[in-house]
Amino acid sequence: MKAIQVQRTGGPEVMELEEVPVRQPKPAEVVVKVAVAGVNSIDGYFRDGRYRTPLPFIPGQEGAGVVTAVGEQAKTVKVGDRVAWSGVFGSYAEFVVSSEEVLVPVPGPISDEEAAAAMVHGLTAHYLANDAHKLKAGETALVHAAAGGVGLLLVQMARAIGARVIGTVSSEEKAQLAREAGADAVIVFTQQDFEPEVKRLTDGKGVEVVYDGVGKATFEKNLNVMRQRGMLVIYGMSSGSILPMDPTKLLEKGSLYMARTTLAHFTATREELLARTSALFDMIAKGRLKLRIGKTYPLAEAPQAHRDMEARKMVGKLLLIP
């Protein structure tokens, strides 16, 4: 099969299309023909060596496709089933071999592109709005990078719950997208300091929750824009790692809460994974959650997809088609 291989860590150019054998599935594994693979920032972290994995490797963790072979102990899926996944290494390829545990069924109305685009960003937005902090109608949420992959979906989910959403974005064009997704107020942080603006928009009271995938660049100010007993949910650090933190700060800023979350812990059991994906697919099928697919690339153009992702100019999900 054709697959993108990384022989040494580095820039987008280290990803090369190569011919590699399809691994034999173990008894509880299945082989899936990849229809669409999702491109995520974490793929870039593995590619450039920030996150480590033995070389060589096939990048990619997210996709959708059709089961083509099953191990003798596989029980939940059969050949021909449409499935989607996140957290399966080696998705930038024509075939991926996976434990059946992490595969979820894709219902009829959901396309392969939609399923692949929704797994990481959609499930992340879902656990953030419903579990990491259980948003309630009438609460105010600050969503950073509101026109980003998770952001656009999180804004929609927060609005569907009945929360007020303040979004931050880097450009007027992205502000427009965040507004279309339902943001009640949008701050273009390149033009305006978000801290005083959030305070102004909340009459000095602050927000109930901050959803932050940015990390270092927003951290200190985040602590100043929450109401007493507010919650800061950090789900990513795209601007770099937050420095070690003195917990006394949480006391000084008003008995704040902080969590550093990751999707795997919100899909840790099979039941939760299935419940969350079916809730997500249901929202998509009913038109209550609009996915924005930015661009699809042939598998061989994975380097260009990473360049576009890292230039931060693209809006919407980037997908590879093997």
Partner 1 sequence: MKAIQLKQVGGPEAMEVVELPVPQAKAKEAVVKLAASGVNFIDIYFREGRYKAPLPFVLGQEGAGVVSAVGTDVESVKVGDRVAWIGLLGSYGEYEAVPADRLVAIPQGVSDQQAAAAMLQGMTAHYLSHDTYPLKRGETALVHAAAGGVGLLLVQMAHNIGARVIATVSTEEKAKLAREAGADEVILYTQSDFEAETKRLTGGKGVDVVYDSVGKTTFDKGLNTLRLRGMMVLFGGSSGPVPPFDLIALSQKGSLYVTRPTLLNYTAAREELVARSSAVFSMIAAGKLKLRIEHRYPLAEAQQAHRDLEGRKTTGKLLLIP
Whichever of 136 and 229 has its CB closer to partner 1, that residue is 229
Whichever of 55 and 245 has its CB closer to partner 1, that residue is 245
Residues 282-301 that bind partner 1 (CB under 8 A): none
The distance of closest approach from Cβ of residue 269 to partner 1 in the complex, given in angstroms and rounded to an integer, is: 9
Whichever of 144 and 306 has its CB closer to partner 1, that residue is 144
Residue 79 as a binder of partner 1 (CB under 8 A): the answer is no
The distance of closest approach from Cβ of residue 42 to partner 1 in the complex, given in angstroms and rounded to an integer, is: 13
Q: Which stretch binds partner 1 (CB under 8 A): 72-80, 151-159, 194-202, 247-255?
A: 247-255
The distance of closest approach from Cβ of residue 212 to partner 1 in the complex, given in angstroms and rounded to an integer, is: 11
- What is the C-alpha separation between 183 and 143, in angstroms, rounded? 9
CB contact at 8 A, 15 and 33: no
Residue among 101, 87, 84, 110 at smallest CA distance from 32? 84
The residue count for binding partner 1 (CB under 8 A) is 28
Question: What is the bridge-based pairing of β-strands 29-38 and 207-212?
Answer: unpaired
The distance of closest approach from Cβ of residue 151 to partner 1 in the complex, given in angstroms and rounded to an integer, is: 19
Radius of gyration (Cα) for the chain, nearest Å? 20
Q: What are phi and psi of 94, to 5 degrees?
A: -75, -30
Whichever of 90 and 236 has its CB closer to partner 1, that residue is 236
Query: Residue 269: CB partners within 8 Å, gap ≥ 6?
Result: none
Q: Which of 28, 58, 102, 250 binds partner 1 (CB under 8 A)?
A: 250
CB contact at 8 A, 128 and 211: yes
Residue 248 as a binder of partner 1 (CB under 8 A): the answer is yes
CB contact at 8 A, 65 and 112: yes
| DSSP secondary structure letters along 31-62 | EEEEEEEE--HHHHHHHHTSS--PSSB----E
Residue 52 as a binder of partner 1 (CB under 8 A): the answer is no
Token pair 């656990």 is found at 127
Residues 258-287 that bind partner 1 (CB under 8 A): 258-262, 265-266, 268
C-alpha distances in Å from residue 293, one per residue of 237, 303, 319:
23, 18, 8
Bridge partners (DSSP) listed for residue 226 = 207
Q: Which of 19, 72, 203, 246 binds partner 1 (CB under 8 A)?
A: 246
Residues 206-245 that bind partner 1 (CB under 8 A): 228-229, 234, 241-245
CB contact at 8 A, 99 and 56: no
Whichever of 78 and 216 has its CB closer to partner 1, that residue is 216
The distance of closest approach from Cβ of residue 198 to partner 1 in the complex, given in angstroms and rounded to an integer, is: 19
Q: Is the peptide bond before 56 cis (omega within 30 degrees of 0)?
A: yes
Whichever of 244 and 287 has its CB closer to partner 1, that residue is 244
- What is the C-alpha separation between 49 and 44, in angstroms, rounded? 8
Q: Which of 7, 24, 255, 278 binds partner 1 (CB under 8 A)?
A: 255
Q: What are phi and psi of 257, to 5 degrees?
A: -110, 150
DSSP-based three-state secondary structure for 227:
strand
Residues 145-184 that bind partner 1 (CB under 8 A): none
CB contact at 8 A, 209 and 230: yes
Q: Which stretch binds partner 1 (CB under 8 A): 14-22, 142-150, 164-172, 253-261?
A: 253-261
Whichever of 177 and 234 has its CB closer to partner 1, that residue is 234
Residue 132 as a binder of partner 1 (CB under 8 A): the answer is yes
Q: Which stretch binds partner 1 (CB under 8 A): 43-51, 134-142, 257-265, 307-315?
A: 257-265
- What is the C-alpha separation between 280 and 49, in angstroms, rounded? 32
Residues that bind partner 1 (CB under 8 A): 131-132, 228-229, 234, 241-251, 254-262, 265-266, 268
